[in-house]
Structure 1
Amino acid sequence: MPLSTLIQRSSQPSPSLSEAQAHALLRAHFDLGGNLQALGSQQDLNLRLDSDQGRFVLKACHGSYAEIELQAQHAALAYLAEQGVPVPGVRAARNGETLLALDVDGQPLRVRVLDYIEGQSLTRLKHMPASLMAELGALCAKVDLALADFDHPGLARTLQWDPQHAQALIEHLLPVLGDTPRRAQLQGVVAQAVEVLAKVQAQLPSQAVHLDITDDNVVWQRDAQREWQLQGVIDFGDLVRTWRIADLSVTCAALLHHAEGDPLRILPVVSAYHEVNLLSEAELLALWPLVLMRAAVLVLSSEQQLTVDPDNHYIRDNITHEWEIFKTATCVPAALMEAAILQAAGQQLPALQLTGCAPLLPALAGQAVTRVDLGVLSRHCEAGNWQQPGFDQAVLAAEPGVACSLHGQYRLSQTHIDRPDEPATCALGVELKLAEGSPLQAPHAGVWQRVSANHGCLRSEHFSLWLQGLQSMPEDGQALNLGEALGTTGSLLSVQLCRDSSVQPPFFATPSAAAAWLALCPSPQALLGFACDAEPLPDAQALLARRDASFARSQKHYYAQPPHIERGWRNYLIDMQGRSYLDMLNNVAVLGHGHPRMAAESARQWSLLNTNSRFHYAAVAEFSERLLALAPEGFDRVFLVNSGTEANDLAIRLAWAYSGGRDLISVLEAYHGWSVATDAISTSIADNPQALQTRPDWVHPVEAPNTFRGRYRGDDSTADYLRDVDAKLADLDARGRQLAGMICEPVYGNAGGISLPPGYLREAYAKVRARGGVCIADEVQVGYGRLGDYFWGFEQQGVAPDIITMAKGMGNGQPLGAVITRREIAEALEAEGYFFSSAGGSPVSCRIGLAVLDVMQEEGLWDNTRKVGGYFKARLQALVDKHPLAGATHGSGFYLGLELVRDRHTLEPATEETTTLCNRLRDLGIFMQPTGDYLNILKIKPPMCTTRTSVDYFVDCVDRILQEGL
């Protein structure tokens, strides 16, 4: 087909076919009837038919389309189907033909009917995870492999989407944009792409390709686990013989619509393709120019088509995201994408040759230079000081003599909080502290470009040198020879290389873009004459493999691919690349992470003494007195232990010793610890899938008083749930067994903080005590001020237990727990021997425990929990009012739960959606995990220093994800 025909075809409107005409055509030629629904297309007509014989697609195109082209499509469908690629079948007409040439009211058409593949495209998916992008890349590779040996005369066609003709088509369509900045930008982008492509196009292999494997033309369905499963590849209208890499370029370009403004998000597509179908270096270098040209053709074709077919809603709907594709494709330098694509395929740009260069700072020859660590673990960073403006420069300035920062280091000072985007933390250059007025010389010949009063660039043919912090510099546009004077420095100088002289690089890059930017901006070490490169970070995957090889695997970690966390500050955890994650699940660090008071108390006491509580020291008495002052009247004895498990285990022993019995009432769906005794009373199947089948005979679980999803619902369900308590007690009475007691969380922790029905504990406690048993309140998760309105969870029920167990936040991470009780219960244990806990009552633990209570009071954290927690719950309730998937909000203060359900009436738990939500929150910089027996509840228990700003960020992100769809 000549190019003139191509251009004429690119300006045709879609065929016109009324519903009545379509029905008549289907009955007459295919013996089909049913309901018709229009499907989108740019230049063809596609109608879905729902018939009693199944679903089909009626496809009609202009008669100017060569028959042999359509026959090639049918042949390719049959060929791919034989090789296991899921594609639609072609239905033969009554005359046995699969392709009909018809005239409908003087309109010549070519008509065929294909099977309809059930499922949906991903075009309108609001968020596409990297894993799904990779699946599309792998699919493209598999189709190309399958078509590698396919041939047909109809492949030799001139197609408007074939990138071999893109330049001519773009030149023809450009006038549709008029004389606008968009037109000028597009022309410049295409010119650069054509220049790069010209160098490699002779080396590009050709074959048959689909040329439209996009989010539009691949059909998917979600399985029971909400995972996307491929159903089939459709729309072979662009089948052609052209460069193989063109197929991948089309897929990449289409997915830029889902890249959320970051073109590097398509790199998993490249990696997945290359893993299945190896790409040559020439193809890798051609890929991004082809993506840019595809983006240009997309927008120009749609703009042109709208002029001839203004009522085509398919085009009108698509044109916005096609311009978004072009905007995303052009928002970073093409050189960066070239480097990133090579890296995605396991290749690198060749090393930048700096041999023969003169030293940039000749006066530094032989001088010692101090390498200054500004990374995440830097000793200079403490108590949040890195948040101060100019922190890095102040640290450098404080060093004696000459000092330098490190190239390629992820700097803590560049982190940010409560934002979804990655912080740009990786240094692409070096900052130097120098004697003011130090002379500079040109390390290579070039032309000086002045940027500002103290900032400029020496450009050569192959790379550029960016300098900031100059005291004097050459004239703008001045040509300099090797070794010629380049001016003088101020006291701080930044130095940065870039191998592409047309690019002005940023000084910092995001972690996900760092490798590509570092390839473009290599170390200036060769020009400086001293070591200035950062040590590589530990390989997070290798470290995880070491953990799995040595650390018992039953001790799980959050997330399949967890970030490598080595630092925390307040309500944030910071990974080794300097990204700060909002911590919404860590109820251990009540004061927040990295609290300076904790560091000071621990260091001082360790420097003095740490031993066990059998020795005599003041801290154990002081801390015990403080704890008793927080307990209800009548509590006068404290045991200090290492953990919540130990506290609950000890509480069980106390109940046994005091009552003389062994039988305990526990509550279903609860977790109390991992020791033999506490595991026995734990019934949460989320923590132990065998929990309900492995209880010993001394444990008597009662029905969980879950007022949201239990058998009885609402606040008037107290009596209903107490009937099961009565039944268990009656059974013990009938068998003459002495009851030891009852253990219960006063607020239902593992269910996300659900309040027990009013009066439940008052009535249950009375029944237990009447039989000589003791009442244990497990406050490990919900106590110590976390509920906001109450310091202890049992206060919400208006009762006082006999034994209080506590841990978690008592030590802000130090192993510390407590059992608080009355003297007669405590002394009942003495008949069984002495008790002590090495770490729990140690001087270090006690001093830290005291400091936690002091800081909670001094910083108003309990009050903050009440006020901000109340605001938090109101915002979560607004999500429940807005999103059907958000079934209910539970809890109070900073112990909250958001329960996700698929149906508000059946309360079907949205387990898989909750997992997806938590993983998506991590992508946005938030740590959150599910809880509950169905793992469908967000367990929200952040440090008690959490702010309203952080609350807003968290809720806004959950809202965003729910709107994206799970």
Structure 2
Amino acid sequence: MIRDASGMLNAYSGDGAVDEMTETLIRRRQSLLGPAYRLFYERPIHMVRGEGPWLFDASGERYLDAYNNVVSVGHCHPHIVDAIARQAAVLNTHTRYLGDSILDYAERILATMPDALGNIMFTCTGSEANDLALRVARHCTDRKGVIVTQLAYHGVTQAVSEVSPSLGFGGERPPHVRTIAAPDTYRLEGDIAELLAAQTRQAVAELEAAGYGVAALMCDTIFSSDGVFTTRGLLSGAAAAVQAAGGLYIADEVQAGFGRTGENMWGFARHGVTPDIVTMGKPMGNGHPVAAAIMRPELLAQFGERARYFNTFGGNTVSCAAAAATLDVIEQEGLPANADKVGAYFRQRLQTLMTRHDCIGDVRGAGLFLGLELVSARDGKIPNATLASRVVNGMRDKRILISTTGIHGNVLKIRPPLIWQQEHVDMFVDSLDSLLKDLAR
């Protein structure tokens, strides 16, 4: 199997039997796009349409999407589609002209943040937002060192690939980067937040001794690439350690934000900390390419004294319309509360499977972001990546889409659209139960 940038073991390897039409598309894709792209599943799917929690392939088969948090309020939501179409028919231009839409959205999204975070800069992708956050952090601290988690993924630009261990650091770990272990709440004992803080203090000391100092701790607030660890407060000590050393805490909310974790709009709120910079992307426009970095105004004032940032498409009028419409849906449909309610039901149902399947070692999650750890023997907590890959592909054959994550590639990564209801949970859990029984035979 091919392991992708997130440690996933379910990427297409060429070994799965596919029909002639699929094989033709794969060959055409490889010829035109080259070998660096990855396809999901041993038998890739040709998707042609989406609606709500569903995706439809070229033959009309319907798939329940339990993985794609880009369209976090559902595929092709009519309110967002209409907002994009209406704005595209009137005006689409950059931020160097005056306009109300970018300011209206800025006021709304900043109102969801702590008072200290008062400025926003727009980009097109989460990678660009994280790239900008690093630029600001290094400029304002006059330091270069960065601390990230063990299998972090923060994007694909040169700068952020160098702080993304899941990409192999874009080559090899730079000397100005240090990693701290994933807060494995399944295997580690004791005060895990303090263990993370102690590692952070050690990383700070190493960076200072090497002459780099610490510019920032950049951390995904749900540890999605490290294995989905959702215990409250895990980041509190680590963030405080970096800020005490004069560095900044950058909260990467690309995956955990916009109500994904349930009761809060933002994942960092679960850790009881106030970041210096918050980055966001993917679900911000429900699939439209819009992202942003929100930060303390004094940081941006200092950055703006000697530097400038402009992004031709970042914050354009159509992107702002998409982002505003997405925020409308989140607020009007009460999606954080729905994620909290349906997510709790989801975890409860998955936990009942543990009594019937010894291969389920742990169920963890917050809102509608869940991790289900598969093991060879529950008592030994031995990761079983092979089983995880078989489950992902087996669920695909049952028309349910998930993926894997974690240091060992053995954690099922489950992050469905926030519009899921209990009926979708039941469909997922019943299918997983049936599949695990079949695989155990």
Both structures adopt the same fold (TM-score exceeding 0.5): yes
Report Cα offsets for 1:479-506 as digits up to 9, x if no partner.
xxxxxxxxxxxxxxxxxxxxxxxxxxxx
**Shift of the alpha carbon at 1:832?**
4.3
- Indicate the percent of aligned positions where both proteins have the same amino acid: 37
In the alignment, which of 335, 354, 359 is matched to residue 880 of structure 1?
Answer: 354
**Shift of the alpha carbon at 1:637?**
0.2
- Is the Cα–Cα contact under 8 Å of residues 614 and 836 in structure 1 kept in the other structure? no
Rounded Cα–Cα distance in structure 2 between residues aligned with 1:625 and 1:962: 48
Report Cα offsets for 1:439-492 as digits up to 9, x if no partner.
xxxxxxxxxxxxxxxxxxxxxxxxxxxxxxxxxxxxxxxxxxxxxxxxxxxxxx
**Alignment partner of 2:321: what SS?**
helix
The aligned runs of 1:168-187 (5 Å cut-off) are none
Match of 1:929 in 2: 403
Match of 1:792 in 2: 266
The aligned runs of 1:4-19 (5 Å cut-off) are none
- Is 1:699 the counterpart of 2:173? The answer is no
- Is 1:837 the counterpart of 2:333? The answer is no
Rounded Cα–Cα distance in structure 1 between residues aligned with 2:334 and 2:264: 14
**Shift of the alpha carbon at 1:761?**
2.4
Report Cα offsets for 1:848-869 as digits up to 9, x if no partner.
1000011112222222111111
**Shift of the alpha carbon at 1:893?**
1.1
Tell me the number of residue pairs that the alignment of Structure 1 and Structure 2 aligns. Answer: 424
**Shift of the alpha carbon at 1:582?**
0.2
- Is the Cα–Cα contact under 8 Å of residues 50 and 75 in structure 2 kept in the other structure? yes
Rounded Cα–Cα distance in structure 1 between residues aligned with 2:67 and 2:417: 8
**Alignment partner of 1:573: what SS?**
strand
- Is the Cα–Cα contact under 8 Å of residues 789 and 893 in structure 1 kept in the other structure? yes
Match of 1:593 in 2: 75
Rounded Cα–Cα distance in structure 2 between residues aligned with 1:693 and 1:919: 30
Match of 2:198 in 1: 723
Letter in 2 for 1:539: M
Match of 1:388 in 2: none
The aligned runs of 1:382-781 (5 Å cut-off) are 539-684=21-166, 688=167, 690-691=168-169, 694-709=172-187, 712-713=188-189, 716-756=191-231, 759-781=233-255
Letter in 2 for 1:803: I
Alignment RMSD (CA, Å): 2.0
- Is the Cα–Cα contact under 8 Å of residues 751 and 897 in structure 1 kept in the other structure? no
Consecutive unaligned residues of structure 2, counting only runs of 5 or more, are 1-9, 11-16
The aligned runs of 1:143-292 (5 Å cut-off) are none
Distance 1:939 1:672, change over 3 A: same
Rounded Cα–Cα distance in structure 1 between residues aligned with 2:302 and 2:382: 47
- Is 1:854 the counterpart of 2:328? The answer is yes
Match of 2:298 in 1: 824
- Is the Cα–Cα contact under 8 Å of residues 66 and 401 in structure 2 kept in the other structure? yes
Larger radius of gyration between Structure 1 and Structure 2: 1
- Is the Cα–Cα contact under 8 Å of residues 752 and 891 in structure 1 kept in the other structure? no
**Alignment partner of 1:887: what SS?**
strand
Letter in 1 for 2:337: D
- Is 1:949 the counterpart of 2:431? The answer is no
**Alignment partner of 1:795: what SS?**
helix
**Alignment partner of 1:933: what SS?**
coil
Runs of 4+ residues deviating >4 angstroms: none
**Shift of the alpha carbon at 1:691?**
4.3
- Is the Cα–Cα contact under 8 Å of residues 752 and 896 in structure 1 kept in the other structure? no
**Shift of the alpha carbon at 1:827?**
2.1
In the alignment, which of 368, 383, 399 is matched to residue 909 of structure 1?
Answer: 383
Letter in 2 for 1:774: L
**Shift of the alpha carbon at 1:896?**
0.5
**Alignment partner of 2:391: what SS?**
helix
**Alignment partner of 2:162: what SS?**
helix
- Is the Cα–Cα contact under 8 Å of residues 752 and 940 in structure 1 kept in the other structure? no
**Alignment partner of 1:539: what SS?**
helix
- Is the Cα–Cα contact under 8 Å of residues 228 and 365 in structure 2 kept in the other structure? yes
**Alignment partner of 2:430: what SS?**
helix
- Is the Cα–Cα contact under 8 Å of residues 22 and 46 in structure 2 kept in the other structure? yes
Match of 2:5 in 1: none
Consecutive unaligned residues of structure 1, counting only runs of 5 or more, are 1-224, 226-267, 269-511, 513-537
Report Cα offsets for 1:518-569 as digits up to 9, x if no partner.
xxxxxxxxxxxxxxxxxxxx93332222111111322211123212111000
Rounded Cα–Cα distance in structure 1 between residues aligned with 2:355 and 2:171: 38
**Shift of the alpha carbon at 1:695?**
1.0
Distance 1:863 1:718, change over 3 A: closer
**Alignment partner of 2:83: what SS?**
helix
**Alignment partner of 2:278: what SS?**
strand
**Shift of the alpha carbon at 1:694?**
0.7
- Is the Cα–Cα contact under 8 Å of residues 670 and 682 in structure 1 kept in the other structure? yes
**Shift of the alpha carbon at 1:753?**
2.3
**Shift of the alpha carbon at 1:821?**
0.7
**Shift of the alpha carbon at 1:676?**
1.1
**Shift of the alpha carbon at 1:873?**
1.0
Match of 1:294 in 2: none
- Is the Cα–Cα contact under 8 Å of residues 395 and 401 in structure 2 kept in the other structure? yes
**Shift of the alpha carbon at 1:677?**
1.2
Letter in 1 for 2:428: F
**Alignment partner of 1:634: what SS?**
coil
Report Cα offsets for 1:655-682 as digits up to 9, x if no partner.
0011111111111121111111111111
Rounded Cα–Cα distance in structure 1 between residues aligned with 2:306 and 2:328: 36
Rounded Cα–Cα distance in structure 1 between residues aligned with 2:159 and 2:379: 38
**Shift of the alpha carbon at 1:759?**
4.2
Rounded Cα–Cα distance in structure 2 between residues aligned with 1:868 and 1:858: 17
Rounded Cα–Cα distance in structure 1 between residues aligned with 2:333 and 2:201: 45
**Shift of the alpha carbon at 1:889?**
0.9
Letter in 2 for 1:657: H
- Is the Cα–Cα contact under 8 Å of residues 349 and 429 in structure 2 kept in the other structure? yes
Rounded Cα–Cα distance in structure 1 between residues aligned with 2:91 and 2:401: 36
Distance 1:839 1:693, change over 3 A: closer
- Is 1:961 the counterpart of 2:439? The answer is no
- Is the Cα–Cα contact under 8 Å of residues 375 and 383 in structure 2 kept in the other structure? yes
Distance 1:577 1:932, change over 3 A: same
Rounded Cα–Cα distance in structure 1 between residues aligned with 2:201 and 2:86: 53
Rounded Cα–Cα distance in structure 1 between residues aligned with 2:393 and 2:143: 46
Question: Which of 1 and 2 has higher RCO (CA within 8 Å, sep 6+)?
Answer: 2
- Is the Cα–Cα contact under 8 Å of residues 148 and 178 in structure 2 kept in the other structure? yes
- Is 1:864 the counterpart of 2:376? The answer is no
Letter in 2 for 1:694: E
**Alignment partner of 1:743: what SS?**
strand
Rounded Cα–Cα distance in structure 1 between residues aligned with 2:42 and 2:163: 30
Rounded Cα–Cα distance in structure 1 between residues aligned with 2:237 and 2:404: 31
- Is the Cα–Cα contact under 8 Å of residues 744 and 776 in structure 1 kept in the other structure? yes
Rounded Cα–Cα distance in structure 2 between residues aligned with 1:925 and 1:736: 53
**Alignment partner of 1:915: what SS?**
helix
Rounded Cα–Cα distance in structure 2 between residues aligned with 1:812 and 1:608: 21
**Alignment partner of 2:89: what SS?**
helix
